Amino acid sequence: MTITITAIDSQFAASTGSNVNSSPGHSKFDYPPTSTNSLIIESQPGDDSPFIFSPGDTYTLTFSGQGGDTIENATVVRSDYINYDGDEGFAVVFEGYDSNGDLTQVVWTPEFDLETWYFNHFVGGQPPEFYNTDINSATTYQAVCFEASMPIDTPSGPMPVAHIRPGDWVLTHDHGPQEVRWVAARDVRGWGRHAPVVFEPGAIGNSGPLCVSQHHRVLVQGDELVQKHGVSQALLPAVSFVDGTQVRLRPRDSITYVHLLFTRHELISCQDVVCESLYLGQVACEVMDTASVTPKGAPESGAAETLMGVLGLSGAQTPARRFLSVREGHALLAQISGHIRQKPKLFLSPGRKHSRPYHLDLLKGPGRAGGGLPAFESVTESDALHV
Instruction: 95-102: list long-range contacts, CB under 8 Å, 24+ apart.
Output: 95/132, 95/244, 95/249, 96/61, 96/71, 96/72, 97/71, 98/16, 98/67, 98/69, 98/70, 98/71, 99/69, 99/70, 100/69, 102/16, 102/17
146: Cβ contacts below 8 Å, ≥ 6 apart: 152, 161, 211, 212, 213, 216, 257, 258, 260, 270, 275
> Could you give the 3-state DSSP secondary structure of residue 229?
helix
Q: Which amino acid is at 150?
A: M
Supply the pLDDT for residue 312.
Answer: 62
174: left (phi over 0), alpha (psi -120 to 50) or beta: alpha
pLDDT score, position 194: 78
Element (H, E) at 310: helix 304-311
CA 224 to chain centre: 24
User: 383 to each of 2, 163, 379, how far by Cα in Å?
Assistant: 9, 46, 10
Q: pLDDT 10s per residue in the chain (387 long)?
A: 789 999 999 999 999 988 988 876 788 999 888 899 999 999 988 777 899 998 778 899 999 988 788 998 888 888 888 887 778 899 999 988 888 878 899 999 999 999 998 888 877 677 888 877 665 433 333 457 999 999 999 999 999 999 999 999 999 999 999 999 999 898 887 876 678 999 999 999 999 999 999 889 999 998 888 888 999 999 998 988 887 788 888 888 889 999 999 999 999 999 999 999 998 764 445 444 433 444 434 433 344 445 555 566 655 678 999 998 877 887 788 777 764 444 344 454 443 334 467 899 998 988 766 667 899 999 998 754 444
pLDDT of residue 40: 97
Output the pLDDT for position 12. 96
For residue 114, what pLDDT is reported? Answer: 93
- In degrees rounded to 5, what are phi and psi of residue 353? -85, -5
Domains of the chain, each with CATH number or no CATH = 3-137+341-386 (no CATH), 146-324 (2.170.16.10)
pLDDT, residue 298, reads 40
Determine the length of the chain: 387
